[in-house]
C-alpha cells in the first residue's frame, strides 16, 4: 500500500508537465472555436492520439498508479486547458473502464481497441447509463435486456440520455436491467457493436457549457446483441443475480448501499475536473488583477479584489486535497466511511462554480464577454454540480453515511 503523500514524484511531475504543455499548446488555442461550433473536436482528439494521450495505455498507467494521484492529476491538467475539449478526449475512457471492470479478457482485447481506433482514424465510445426518468435514481432504470436463449442473443429496449458521444460512438456500452426486482443489483452491461440495427441517436442536446463535447440521447429499439456481448458472461451474471437475490431477502436496504459505494469511487475524478476548471479561471483573474490598472494602480492593490483571490486559491487547494485523499483511499481499498468520495466531488464542484463566478466579477465587463475565457469557464463549471450525482445527492450520501441511515 502506497503511503499517502501530497507531493508528486518525479515521474508524475514529468507526466503532469507533459499534459500541461499539451493543454496549453493544443487544447486552449482551439477552445473558443469548438465551443462556438458545438461539435466534437476531431482534430484535437487526433492530436491527442498521436502523442499518446488519447489511448487506453495512457489511462491504464494513470489508473494503476499506486498513489492514486495519476488520474486526478491528469484530469486537472486537461480540464485546465478546456472542459469541453477535455471531456471529448476522456469521454471514451468511461466506456473503456466499464469494460475493464466487468469484461472478460477476450472482451477487453476485442472491444477496447475499437473504442479508440488509430491515431489517423480515431474512434470514440459511449457509456450509456442515465435515462429520462433515471438519473440520480439508478434503481428506477427502465431499459430492459431480455435473453433469447434459442438464439443466444440479448434483446435491449429503452432510451438513454445525457450520453457523452451517444450516437456517434463506434462502440456503445449500455447498462440495462435484467431483473427489475433487484433494483440496481439487477443491472448488467452490454457491448453494442458498430452498426447494430435498432440503435439510433435521439436528440442532440444544445448545452449551456462543455459544448465541444457531444451529448445526446441513444434510442434502443429491439437491439439484438450476441450473448458474447454481455460483459463478464452469462454464467457470472447468473451467479451474481443469485447472490443479490439472497442478500436482498436477508438484508434489504444494504443491497442498495453497496451499489452506492461503487459510485463513490468514481467521484474524485469528476472533482479533479472541477479543480482544473477552477484553477484556470483563478489564474486568468490573478493575471488580470496584476495588470489591470484603475485609479493609477493595479486592481489587486484593492482589498476587495485581493481577498477574493485569496479565498479562491484557498478553496481550490482545499478541494484538490479532498480529491487526492479520496483518490488515494479508492486505489488502496480504504472504505469511504464518511463518504469521502462524495465530499471531494461536492466541494470541488461547488468551488468551480463559485471561483469562475468570482473571476468574471474581477474582470468586470470584460469577464462577461467571450473575448475572455472566464465566461466560458463559468458556463462549463455548472455541469460539475449536476453530473455524476448532483450536489444535493452528494449531501444526501454524506449525511446518511455519517448518520448511519440507509442510502435509498
As a whole number of angstroms, the distance between CA 145 and CA 155 comes to: 5
Helices (H), 6-125: 10-22, 28-37, 42-51, 56-63, 70-81, 83-102, 105-116
As a whole number of angstroms, the distance between CA 178 and CA 372 comes to: 49
Of the listed 14, 371, 388, 392, which one is catalytic?
388
| DSSP for 250-318, written as a single string | HHTTHHHHHHHHHHHTTHHHHHHHHHHHHHHHHHHHHHHHHH-EETTEEGGGSHHHHHHHHHHHHHHHH
As a whole number of angstroms, the distance between CA 166 and CA 171 comes to: 9
Q: What is the DSSP letter of 23?
A: I
Residue 5 CB neighbours (<10 A): 12
Q: With 0-12 CB in 10 A as exposed, 13-18 as middle and 19+ as buried, what is 1?
A: exposed
Residue 404 CB neighbours (<10 A): 6
As a whole number of angstroms, the distance between CA 199 and CA 195 comes to: 8
φ/ψ of residue 56, rounded to 5: -65, -40
As a whole number of angstroms, the distance between CA 400 and CA 330 comes to: 20
Radius of gyration of the chain (CA): 22
388 part of the active site: yes
As a whole number of angstroms, the distance between CA 113 and CA 125 comes to: 10
Closest CA to 162 of 190, 210, 204: 204
Active site residues: 388
Amino acid at each position: 500500500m502506497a503511503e499517502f503523500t501530497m507531493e508528486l514524484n518525479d515521474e508524475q511531475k514529468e507526466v503532469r508537465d507533459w499534459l500541461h504543455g499539451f493543454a496549453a499548446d493544443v487544447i486552449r488555442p482551439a477552445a473558443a472555436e469548438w465551443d462556438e461550433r458545438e461539435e466534437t473536436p476531431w482534430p484535437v482528439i487526433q492530436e491527442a492520439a498521436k502523442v499518446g494521450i488519447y489511448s487506453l495505455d495512457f489511462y491504464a498507467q494513470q489508473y494503476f498508479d499506486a498513489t492514486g494521484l495519476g488520474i486526478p492529476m491528469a484530469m486537472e491538467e486537461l480540464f485546465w486547458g478546456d472542459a469541453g475539449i477535455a471531456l471529448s478526449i476522456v469521454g471514451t475512457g468511461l466506456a473503456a473502464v466499464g469494460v475493464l471492470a466487468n469484461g472478460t479478457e477476450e472482451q477487453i482485447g476485442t472491444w477496447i481497441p475499437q473504442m479508440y481506433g488509430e491515431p489517423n482514424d480515431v474512434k470514440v465510445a459511449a457509456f450509456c447509463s442515465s435515462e429520462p426518468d433515471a438519473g440520480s435514481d439508478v434503481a428506477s432504470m427502465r431499459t430492459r435486456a431480455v435473453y433469447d436463449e434459442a438464439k443466444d442473443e440479448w434483446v435491449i429496449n429503452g432510451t438513454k440520455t445525457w450520453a457523452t458521444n451517444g450516437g456517434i460512438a463506434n462502440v456503445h456500452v449500455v447498462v440495462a436491467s435484467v431483473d427489475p426486482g433487484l433494483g440496481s443489483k439487477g443491472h448488467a452491461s452490454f457491448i453494442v457493436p458498430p452498426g447494430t440495427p435498432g440503435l439510433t441517436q435521439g436528440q442532440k442536446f444544445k448545452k449551456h457549457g462543455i459544448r465541444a463535447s457531444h451529448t445526446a440521447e441513444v434510442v434502443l429499439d429491439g437491439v439484438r446483441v450476441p450473448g458474447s456481448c454481455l460483459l463478464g458472461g452469462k454464467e457470472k451474471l447468473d451467479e451474481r443475480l443469485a447472490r443479490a437475490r439472497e442478500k436482498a431477502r436477508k438484508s434489504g436496504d444494504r443491497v442498495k448501499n453497496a451499489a452506492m459505494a461503487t459510485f463513490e469511487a468514481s467521484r474524485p475524478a469528476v472533482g479533479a475536473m472541477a479543480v482544473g476548471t477552477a484553477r484556470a479561471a483563478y489564474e486568468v483573474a490573478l493575471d488580470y488583477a496584476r495588470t489591470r490598472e484603475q485609479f493609477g494602480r493595479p486592481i489587486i492593490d484593492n482589498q476587495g479584489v485581493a481577498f477574493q483571490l485569496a479565498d479562491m486559491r484557498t478553496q481550490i487547494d482545499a478541494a484538490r486535497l479532498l480529491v487526492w485523499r479520496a483518490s488515494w483511499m479508492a486505489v488502496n481499498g480504504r472504505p469511504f466511511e464518511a463518504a469521502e468520495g462524495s465530499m471531494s466531488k461536492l466541494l470541488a464542484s461547488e468551488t468551480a462554480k463559485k471561483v469562475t463566478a468570482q473571476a468574471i466579477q474581477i474582470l468586470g465587463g470584460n469577464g462577461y464577454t467571450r473575448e475572455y475565457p472566464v465566461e466560458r469557464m463559468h458556463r462549463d463549471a455548472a455541469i460539475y454540480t449536476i453530473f455524476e450525482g448532483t450536489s444535493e445527492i452528494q449531501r444526501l450520501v454524506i449525511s446518511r453515511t455519517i448518520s448511519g441511515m440507509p442510502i435509498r
